[in-house]
Structure 1
Amino acid sequence: MRNAVWLLGSMALLMAACAPRGPAPISTAPSTAAPPPSPTAAPAAPPATPDRQRILFPAPEDWAKGAAQPRVTIIEWGDFQ
Protein backbone atom coordinates (compact mmCIF):
# COMPACT_ATOMS: atom_id res chain seq x y z
CA MET A 1 0.00 0.00 0.00
CA ARG A 2 2.77 2.38 0.93
CA ASN A 3 4.59 1.65 -2.35
CA ALA A 4 1.42 2.38 -4.34
CA VAL A 5 1.00 5.77 -2.64
CA TRP A 6 4.65 6.61 -3.27
CA LEU A 7 4.35 5.53 -6.92
CA LEU A 8 1.16 7.53 -7.51
CA GLY A 9 2.65 10.59 -5.81
CA SER A 10 5.80 10.36 -7.94
CA MET A 11 3.78 9.99 -11.12
CA ALA A 12 1.58 12.97 -10.19
CA LEU A 13 4.68 15.15 -9.65
CA LEU A 14 6.22 13.97 -12.90
CA MET A 15 3.05 14.68 -14.86
CA ALA A 16 2.71 18.11 -13.26
CA ALA A 17 6.31 18.95 -14.17
CA CYS A 18 5.81 17.83 -17.78
CA ALA A 19 2.44 19.51 -18.29
CA PRO A 20 2.37 22.19 -20.99
CA ARG A 21 2.28 25.77 -19.83
CA GLY A 22 -0.40 28.21 -20.77
CA PRO A 23 0.00 30.55 -23.74
CA ALA A 24 2.94 32.92 -23.65
CA PRO A 25 2.07 36.47 -22.63
CA ILE A 26 1.83 38.88 -25.52
CA SER A 27 3.78 42.09 -25.09
CA THR A 28 2.00 45.32 -25.91
CA ALA A 29 5.19 47.40 -25.76
CA PRO A 30 6.41 48.83 -29.08
CA SER A 31 9.09 46.81 -30.80
CA THR A 32 12.65 48.10 -30.49
CA ALA A 33 14.14 45.68 -33.01
CA ALA A 34 16.28 47.16 -35.75
CA PRO A 35 14.90 47.02 -39.30
CA PRO A 36 16.38 44.31 -41.51
CA PRO A 37 19.45 45.38 -43.47
CA SER A 38 18.92 46.29 -47.08
CA PRO A 39 20.31 43.78 -49.59
CA THR A 40 23.67 44.75 -51.05
CA ALA A 41 25.93 43.21 -53.63
CA ALA A 42 28.29 40.53 -52.35
CA PRO A 43 31.94 41.57 -52.24
CA ALA A 44 34.11 40.27 -55.05
CA ALA A 45 36.18 37.17 -54.27
CA PRO A 46 39.83 37.90 -53.49
CA PRO A 47 42.32 36.93 -56.18
CA ALA A 48 43.69 33.40 -56.11
CA THR A 49 47.02 33.01 -54.38
CA PRO A 50 49.47 30.10 -54.63
CA ASP A 51 48.25 28.81 -51.25
CA ARG A 52 44.63 28.96 -52.37
CA GLN A 53 45.53 27.14 -55.59
CA ARG A 54 47.20 24.34 -53.57
CA ILE A 55 44.09 24.01 -51.38
CA LEU A 56 41.64 23.96 -54.25
CA PHE A 57 43.72 21.79 -56.57
CA PRO A 58 46.04 19.48 -54.57
CA ALA A 59 48.85 17.76 -56.39
CA PRO A 60 49.38 13.97 -56.17
CA GLU A 61 52.41 14.45 -53.89
CA ASP A 62 50.21 16.29 -51.37
CA TRP A 63 48.34 13.09 -50.46
CA ALA A 64 51.26 11.10 -49.03
CA LYS A 65 54.14 11.88 -46.70
CA GLY A 66 57.22 9.83 -45.94
CA ALA A 67 58.96 6.91 -47.61
CA ALA A 68 57.64 5.27 -50.76
CA GLN A 69 57.66 1.80 -49.05
CA PRO A 70 57.00 2.43 -45.33
CA ARG A 71 56.79 -0.27 -42.65
CA VAL A 72 53.50 1.13 -41.33
CA THR A 73 50.80 2.99 -43.23
CA ILE A 74 48.32 5.21 -41.38
CA ILE A 75 45.15 6.06 -43.25
CA GLU A 76 43.21 9.04 -41.99
CA TRP A 77 39.60 9.45 -43.08
CA GLY A 78 37.09 12.15 -42.30
CA ASP A 79 33.47 12.61 -43.21
CA PHE A 80 32.56 16.25 -42.76
CA GLN A 81 28.89 16.95 -43.23
Structure 2
Amino acid sequence: MWLLYHHRLPTNQSLKEKGISVNLKCQYCDYPKEDSSHIFFECQNSLNFWNSIQSKSDNQGATIAGKINESNWIDEWHSLKNKNFNH
Protein backbone atom coordinates (compact mmCIF):
# COMPACT_ATOMS: atom_id res chain seq x y z
CA MET A 1 0.00 0.00 0.00
CA TRP A 2 2.84 2.37 0.82
CA LEU A 3 4.38 1.86 -2.61
CA LEU A 4 1.07 2.54 -4.34
CA TYR A 5 0.39 5.64 -2.26
CA HIS A 6 3.85 7.06 -3.00
CA HIS A 7 3.80 6.05 -6.69
CA ARG A 8 6.81 3.78 -6.14
CA LEU A 9 5.55 0.51 -7.61
CA PRO A 10 7.95 -0.91 -10.20
CA THR A 11 5.47 -0.83 -13.08
CA ASN A 12 6.62 -1.02 -16.67
CA GLN A 13 5.88 2.71 -17.01
CA SER A 14 7.92 3.71 -13.94
CA LEU A 15 10.82 1.46 -14.98
CA LYS A 16 10.81 3.06 -18.44
CA GLU A 17 10.89 6.53 -16.84
CA LYS A 18 14.03 5.43 -14.93
CA GLY A 19 15.74 4.50 -18.18
CA ILE A 20 15.23 0.75 -17.96
CA SER A 21 14.40 -0.86 -21.28
CA VAL A 22 11.06 -2.65 -20.85
CA ASN A 23 7.94 -3.36 -22.85
CA LEU A 24 5.31 -0.88 -21.63
CA LYS A 25 2.38 -3.25 -22.27
CA CYS A 26 0.47 -4.82 -19.40
CA GLN A 27 1.52 -8.45 -19.24
CA TYR A 28 -2.03 -9.53 -18.35
CA CYS A 29 -4.15 -7.75 -20.96
CA ASP A 30 -1.73 -6.11 -23.47
CA TYR A 31 -2.95 -2.60 -22.60
CA PRO A 32 -0.32 -0.27 -24.08
CA LYS A 33 0.76 1.40 -20.80
CA GLU A 34 1.17 -0.51 -17.53
CA ASP A 35 1.10 1.96 -14.63
CA SER A 36 -0.16 1.58 -11.06
CA SER A 37 -3.59 2.96 -11.89
CA HIS A 38 -4.00 0.43 -14.68
CA ILE A 39 -2.70 -2.49 -12.61
CA PHE A 40 -5.00 -1.85 -9.65
CA PHE A 41 -8.08 -0.21 -11.14
CA GLU A 42 -8.36 -0.54 -14.91
CA CYS A 43 -7.00 -3.92 -16.02
CA GLN A 44 -9.79 -6.41 -16.60
CA ASN A 45 -7.96 -8.94 -14.44
CA SER A 46 -7.90 -6.43 -11.58
CA LEU A 47 -11.57 -5.62 -12.05
CA ASN A 48 -12.38 -9.32 -11.89
CA PHE A 49 -10.33 -9.63 -8.70
CA TRP A 50 -12.02 -6.65 -7.01
CA ASN A 51 -15.44 -7.93 -8.04
CA SER A 52 -14.69 -11.40 -6.63
CA ILE A 53 -13.70 -9.78 -3.33
CA GLN A 54 -16.87 -7.71 -3.43
CA SER A 55 -19.03 -10.77 -4.02
CA LYS A 56 -17.60 -12.35 -0.86
CA SER A 57 -18.31 -9.28 1.26
CA ASP A 58 -21.58 -7.96 2.56
CA ASN A 59 -21.93 -4.70 0.64
CA GLN A 60 -25.44 -5.03 -0.80
CA GLY A 61 -24.31 -6.02 -4.27
CA ALA A 62 -22.51 -2.83 -5.30
CA THR A 63 -19.43 -3.46 -7.39
CA ILE A 64 -16.11 -2.08 -6.31
CA ALA A 65 -14.81 -1.90 -9.86
CA GLY A 66 -17.54 0.49 -10.92
CA LYS A 67 -16.72 3.14 -8.35
CA ILE A 68 -13.07 2.79 -7.37
CA ASN A 69 -10.08 4.80 -8.48
CA GLU A 70 -6.63 5.34 -7.08
CA SER A 71 -7.35 8.45 -5.01
CA ASN A 72 -10.59 7.34 -3.35
CA TRP A 73 -9.14 3.87 -2.71
CA ILE A 74 -6.19 5.41 -0.87
CA ASP A 75 -8.53 7.67 1.11
CA GLU A 76 -10.59 4.63 2.11
CA TRP A 77 -7.44 2.74 3.08
CA HIS A 78 -6.38 5.60 5.38
CA SER A 79 -9.80 5.74 7.05
CA LEU A 80 -9.95 1.96 7.52
CA LYS A 81 -6.51 1.62 9.07
CA ASN A 82 -7.61 3.90 11.92
CA LYS A 83 -10.76 1.92 12.74
CA ASN A 84 -11.02 -0.68 15.47
CA PHE A 85 -12.42 -3.91 14.03
CA ASN A 86 -14.04 -6.38 16.40
CA HIS A 87 -13.84 -9.93 15.11
TM-score (norm 1): 0.20
Higher helix share: 2
Identify which of structures 1 and 2 has the higher relative contact order when contacts are C-alpha pairs closer than 8 Å and 6+ apart.
2
The structure that has the greater radius of gyration is: 1
TM-score (norm 2): 0.20
